[in-house]
Chains A and B, each alone.
Chain A
Amino acid sequence: MTAAIEVADVSKKFRLFRERPTSVKQRLLSARSRAEDFWALRNVSFDVLEGTSLGLIGQNGSGKTTLLKIVAGILRPTSGVVRQRGRMAALLELGAGFHPELTGRENVYLNASFLGLSRRETDRAYDAIVEFAGLEEFMDNQAKFYSSGMLVRLGFAVAVHVDPEVLLIDEVLAVGDEAFQAKCLERIRRFQREGRTIVLVTHALDTVRAICDRAVMLHQGRVHALGSPDDVVREMRYLLLGQVDEGFVPEEGTREAEIEAVDLVYPNGSTEGPLVRDDPFTIQVDVRTNEPVDDLDVDFEILDGATNHPVLDGRASRAGVTIGRFDGKRRVRFHVSSFPYTAGKYWITIGLSSRETGRLYHVQTQRYLLEVIEVPRVQERVDVPVTIEVEDL
């Protein structure tokens, strides 16, 4: 397979002016003094193979949009090369070129032409666009009479009807209500089935895990992680939760005691998932001490990968279990009697701490993956109260 996009050692330097010199005078006066260099991207390299989807994540200001603009040819890299094959459309903004004085119809044609659609292609897609936006009655009204929601729908409707081989999407999916977002995702899935190449920038980490084949995480303009979406998203979560500035801290603690191994034991006794919903499982933590500890406490927390909310936790001390003084190795098992949460991915954090002082010996944040699936089963009969009402018509 060939690469649809090759990003090779791309760096981008912006000149930051405290006040951008926009006149000859200012420019002469501020020749050297005021400008500061700012590297928005540094030595970024990755490929996107044809027909695959890449998720591009990172905190605000990490350089995602800048990178997308370089791939799209809107910005020039300061160094490095981008090679891009095939017809491309970049959705950095919905409704580019929309003007309030134009009618919905005219705006569709203008916007579509900016996205690279010819008039004939727009003619062909027009009905579908209007239907997708659900604005049949409004197309001959001027856009200034549209609500902002209608404008977004129209912009998106045009955007999803572009017909590129390579599609760059920058957070445009973040707008709109949930139903609308679901519609967007459904569209992206269809693009994928049609074999298009997609680069998706988003802050919705679960979207990345759900639909991307690979992911790249940028941090302060550098590639911080690159690989499977699960791995990259996990690194991203370390960073977000840890709120660390330089790099992420997947583990921390003073290490009098250390987590040596963690296994998830499923009902069939194996340590290979996934878990069927409502089934029990066991979290097995092997602890090794580096010096004798008196008051070890062990805890776990399970985070819903889809929402980033904690759903379940447990702590030895809270359950009245004393591990006691020891030196060497011990195994602690948390038997979870049933896991009633919906199918999806869950992340497990394990912590060793001092029961008395709260001192953290060793914490591994969201290190272990619990995958939950749902299998269809025969529905049981349950008593649901039904009330009956009769009225005259």
Chain B
Amino acid sequence: MAADAEVAVRTSEASHLRIAARVRDVASRRETLLNLVRKELKVKYAQSVLGAIWSLLNPIVFLAVFSFVMRITNNQFRDYPVYLLSGLLAWNLCSVSLTTGARSVIDNGNLVKKVAFPREILPLSAIGVALVDFVLQSAVLFLFIPASGHGFHLLELSVYPLAFLTLIVFTTAMTLWLAALNVRYRDIQHLLNLGLLVWFWFTPIVYSGYLVKDVLTRHPVLGVNLWNVFLGNPLTPIVMGFQRALYAVVRPIGSPKPVLPDVSLPWLAGVLAIVLVASLAFLRLTWGTFFRLSGDFAEEL
């Protein structure tokens, strides 16, 4: 053994989180992370004949049903399935990560009590699983968009990476936070389900973002434009980013009103950038909380 071998020091103090060192720690255990994701996927589709195809079937059925319904009801909302799915997939990535991530430490209690590894791996693996579904389902959507005749708009598509990155950072920050708190306060997960329900309807996913912007801007409350408050929900600009990237057209030809909020692309990108920076700061904060609390996970479970 080398004399200068690394010395691990364990004290009562929760050591201060040094991001770079911690990222290295987690990265050095990435195989554990990948194995866990693989395990979760296996278990999820165990004994199902179609396996991962179920993941693909979900959006396919969605697209088929909504295309059909929209056609027979002769709805004014053009290419509604594309609009719906571009926002919904992003939402699902976040909400599934949060629900499974919040439980991840508790569900793996036996591992936490018996094995030493960076605890972040557990919520991260929950995100990983949701991400796999997201990628598969997005692939369906990406095929559907040109196939349905809606088509891609390259300029708008360029905002996709920014929206995706922001979504991932925000989701990770929230998931770490909830996972850590849930160990101590188990009612977090029940609260979360309720919260997500409300959150979902306060995010323009199934309804048109323009509609909200229009109504809220025309009816200020006490001189406050509530649209700005509405944008305070970080998922709103994120979902708007995905919709702008994939649905792309603010006002489809033949529509009486815009579908997407009539904001310029640079403005949207700017808001997303702000949300990204804020999410990074939030991530730093929640990671610190997670790290501090994770020293006691084995005891609390």
Contact with B along A66-79 (1 / 0, CB 8 A): 00011111111111
Kindly state the separation between the CA atoms of A165 and B115 in the bound complex, as whole angstroms. Answer: 17
Q: Of all chain B residues, which has the CB nearest A120?
A: B31
CB of A196, distance to nearest CB on chain B (Å): 9
Given contacts A23-B186, A83-B7, A84-B10, contact A110 B39 (CB under 8 A): yes
| Chain B stretch 9-63: residues in CB contact (< 8 A) with chain A | 9-12, 14, 29, 31-32, 35-36, 38-39, 42-43, 46-47
Q: Which 9 A-B pairs have the closest CB atoms?
A: A101-B46, A113-B32, A22-B186, A82-B10, A93-B114, A23-B187, A92-B114, A73-B116, A110-B35
Q: In the complex, are the beta carbons of B10 and A77 less than 8 A apart?
A: yes
Q: In the complex, are the beta carbons of B115 and A83 less than 8 A apart?
A: no
Q: In the complex, are the beta carbons of A86 and B1 less than 8 A apart?
A: yes
Kindly state the separation between the CA atoms of A27 and B184 in the bound complex, as whole angstroms. Answer: 9
CB of B13, distance to nearest CB on chain A (Å): 8
Given contacts A2-B3, A50-B1, A84-B8, contact A97 B298 (CB under 8 A): no
Q: In the complex, are the beta carbons of A82 and B298 less than 8 A apart?
A: no
Cβ of A109 within 8 Å of any chain B Cβ, yes or no, is: yes
One of B46, B187, B299 near A75 (C-beta < 8 A): B299
Q: In the complex, are the beta carbons of B1 and A75 less than 8 A apart?
A: no
Given contacts A50-B1, A90-B116, A101-B46, contact A79 B12 (CB under 8 A): yes
Chain B residues with Cβ under 8 A from A82's Cβ?
Answer: 8-11
One of B11, B35, B47, B187 near A24 (C-beta < 8 A): B187
Q: Of all chain A residues, which has the CB nearest B113?
A: A74
Given contacts A50-B1, A96-B111, A110-B36, contact A74 B116 (CB under 8 A): yes
Q: In the complex, are the beta carbons of A90 and B39 less than 8 A apart?
A: no
CB of B272, distance to nearest CB on chain A (Å): 34
| Chain A stretch 131-189: residues in CB contact (< 8 A) with chain B | 165
Kindly state the separation between the CA atoms of A119 and B42 in the bound complex, as whole angstroms. Answer: 18
Kindly state the separation between the CA atoms of A32 and B200 in the bound complex, as whole angstroms. Answer: 39
Chain B residues with Cβ under 8 A from A2's Cβ?
Answer: 3
Q: Of all chain A residues, which has the CB nearest B182?
A: A22
Q: In the complex, are the beta carbons of B114 and A96 less than 8 A apart?
A: yes
Q: In the complex, are the beta carbons of A97 and B115 less than 8 A apart?
A: yes
Cβ of B214 within 8 Å of any chain A Cβ, yes or no, is: no
Cβ of A102 within 8 Å of any chain B Cβ, yes or no, is: yes
One of B1, B12, B32, B110 near A77 (C-beta < 8 A): B12
Given contacts A27-B185, A101-B43, A114-B117, contact A78 B35 (CB under 8 A): no
Cβ of A190 within 8 Å of any chain B Cβ, yes or no, is: no
Offer 21 A-B interface pairs, CB within 8 angstroms, sorted by A: A24-B185, A24-B187, A25-B187, A73-B10, A75-B298, A76-B12, A78-B12, A81-B11, A82-B11, A83-B8, A90-B115, A90-B116, A92-B115, A93-B110, A97-B115, A99-B42, A101-B42, A102-B39, A106-B38, A119-B31, A165-B1
Cβ of B222 within 8 Å of any chain A Cβ, yes or no, is: no
Given contacts A74-B114, A113-B32, A165-B1, contact A99 B43 (CB under 8 A): yes
Chain A residues with Cβ under 8 A from B186's Cβ?
Answer: 22-23
Q: Of all chain A residues, which has the CB nearest B44?
A: A101
Q: In the complex, are the beta carbons of A113 and B7 less than 8 A apart?
A: no
Q: In the complex, are the beta carbons of A70 and B10 less than 8 A apart?
A: yes
| Chain A stretch 222-256: residues in CB contact (< 8 A) with chain B | none
Q: Of all chain B residues, which has the CB nearest A197?
A: B1
Q: In the complex, are the beta carbons of A76 and B295 less than 8 A apart?
A: yes
CB of A28, distance to nearest CB on chain B (Å): 10
Number of interface residues of A (CB under 8 A): 46
Q: In the complex, are the beta carbons of A113 and B114 less than 8 A apart?
A: no
Q: In the complex, are the beta carbons of A23 and B296 less than 8 A apart?
A: no
Kindly state the separation between the CA atoms of A61 and B185 in the bound complex, as whole angstroms. Answer: 28
Q: In the complex, are the beta carbons of B31 and A113 less than 8 A apart?
A: yes
Kindly state the separation between the CA atoms of A72 and B113 in the bound complex, as whole angstroms. Answer: 11
CB of A112, distance to nearest CB on chain B (Å): 9
CB of B165, distance to nearest CB on chain A (Å): 28
Kindly state the separation between the CA atoms of A85 and B3 in the bound complex, as whole angstroms. Answer: 9
Cβ of A326 within 8 Å of any chain B Cβ, yes or no, is: no
| Chain B stretch 61-117: residues in CB contact (< 8 A) with chain A | 110-117
Q: In the complex, are the beta carbons of A114 and B111 less than 8 A apart?
A: yes
Kindly state the separation between the CA atoms of A165 and B12 in the bound complex, as whole angstroms. Answer: 25
Q: Of all chain B residues, which has the CB nearest A76?
A: B295
Chain A residues with Cβ under 8 A from B299's Cβ?
Answer: 14, 75
CB of A204, distance to nearest CB on chain B (Å): 21
Contact with B along A285-326 (1 / 0, CB 8 A): 000000000000000000000000000000000000000000
Kindly state the separation between the CA atoms of A92 and B112 in the bound complex, as whole angstroms. Answer: 11
Cβ of A216 within 8 Å of any chain B Cβ, yes or no, is: no
CB of B94, distance to nearest CB on chain A (Å): 24
Chain A residues with Cβ under 8 A from B5's Cβ?
Answer: 85-86, 165
Q: Of all chain A residues, which has the CB nearest B29?
A: A113
Chain B residues with Cβ under 8 A from A86's Cβ?
Answer: 1, 5-6
Q: In the complex, are the beta carbons of A81 and B114 less than 8 A apart?
A: no
Cβ of A30 within 8 Å of any chain B Cβ, yes or no, is: no
Kindly state the separation between the CA atoms of A101 and B43 in the bound complex, as whole angstroms. Answer: 6
CB of A82, distance to nearest CB on chain B (Å): 4
Q: Of all chain A residues, which has the CB nearest B45?
A: A101
| Chain B stretch 142-193: residues in CB contact (< 8 A) with chain A | 184-187
Given contacts A23-B186, A76-B14, A101-B42, contact A81 B116 (CB under 8 A): no
Q: In the complex, are the beta carbons of A85 and B6 less than 8 A apart?
A: yes
Chain B residues with Cβ under 8 A from A25's Cβ?
Answer: 187
Q: In the complex, are the beta carbons of B8 and A69 less than 8 A apart?
A: no
Q: Of all chain A residues, which has the CB nearest B191?
A: A24
Q: Of all chain B residues, which has the CB nearest A88?
A: B8
Q: In the complex, are the beta carbons of B111 and A73 less than 8 A apart?
A: no
Q: In the complex, are the beta carbons of A85 and B10 less than 8 A apart?
A: no
Kindly state the separation between the CA atoms of A25 and B6 in the bound complex, as whole angstroms. Answer: 44
| Chain A stretch 199-233: residues in CB contact (< 8 A) with chain B | none
CB of A99, distance to nearest CB on chain B (Å): 6
Q: In the complex, are the beta carbons of B115 and A114 less than 8 A apart?
A: yes
One of B9, B32, B42, B43 near A81 (C-beta < 8 A): B9
Cβ of A4 within 8 Å of any chain B Cβ, yes or no, is: yes
Q: Of all chain A residues, which has the CB nearest B14?
A: A76
One of B1, B14, B296 near A85 (C-beta < 8 A): B1
Chain A residues with Cβ under 8 A from B298's Cβ?
Answer: 69, 74-75
16 additional A-B residue pairs with CB within 8 Å, beyond A83-B7, A96-B114, A113-B32: A4-B1, A22-B185, A22-B186, A23-B185, A24-B185, A27-B184, A50-B1, A73-B116, A76-B10, A83-B9, A84-B7, A84-B8, A84-B10, A97-B111, A101-B46, A114-B115
